[in-house]
Amino acid sequence: MRHLKAHRKLGRTTEHRMSMLRNLATSLINAQHERIVTTLPKAKELRPFIEKAITLSRRAQHLEGETAAVQAVHLRRQAAAFFHAGNRQQAVSSGKRGQMRAPRTAGVAALKRLFDDLGERFKDRQGGYTRIIKLGRRDGDNAELAIIELVDNPKEREAIEAANKRAKSATGKKKTAKASESKAAEGGRRAGRDKADKTYEKKETTEARGSGVEPVDETLEDNKPAGGSRAKKTEQTAEEKDTND
């Protein structure tokens, strides 16, 4: 049976392990690209740890009613347990006149970003806020490395936007090519119609067509002999007979 084997011990005491997970969670949220590289066992332990904190920030986005502000403060205090506390010397240093305040720790900044940005981003997402990508083994100790990152991070959104732009440009090029082909075909048909319209026709033929009378080609009438081709052959045969006689 797997009694008392709920988590990986990672070769550390409880206090050391919790401190390490808090540091990893702070680094993941404050990272510029929202991703960090660590060993695979640490990434697998960090995943449920950080997702519980993100769930608290997501709940704060759905609060309603008069007690919403009080409940939001309670959720923020619960989520603060997943990060290291703020600068404990801040109150002492701020009391001295002329002395600058100590800078706020990364844990306070991570908590603020968790409730201001990530809670709004994952407002309608039912879990699955992180992604683990295996990288292979590290030189030296042969430890298996992995990337753990937040989904919908800036790099991922940029890649999606670039892919959408490429798809739109490809679609636009196809439409332009089809339009040019259709214009060329239409131009060819128009050229044929214009050529047919520009065919020469006599004025008398046009008037005759308008009056309903069948037009007659005068050139053919003038050149055609009387009686047709058969009459012409008969006349030639008669002349040959007279010559023979």
Looking at per-residue pLDDT, the higher value among 235 and 223 belongs to 235
Integer Cα distance of 87 and 73 in angstroms: 19
Name the most confidently modeled range: 45-54, 91-100, 167-176, 185-194.
45-54
pLDDT of residue 239: 64
Residue 23 has pLDDT above 70, yes or no: yes
Please give the pLDDT value at position 213: 53
Chain-centroid distance, C-alpha 217: 70
What is the rounded distance in angstroms from the CA atom of residue 176 to the CA atom of residue 75?
55
Q: Residue 180 has what pLDDT?
A: 73
Which helix or strand (DSSP H or E) is residue 205 part of?
helix 203-211
Overall pTM > 0.95: no
Residue 181: its pLDDT value, please? Answer: 75
Q: Which CATH architecture has domain 14-88+100-151?
A: Alpha-Beta Complex (3.90)
Domain extents for the chain? 14-88+100-151, 153-198
Q: Is the dihedral of CA 177, 181, 183, 184 positive or negative?
A: positive
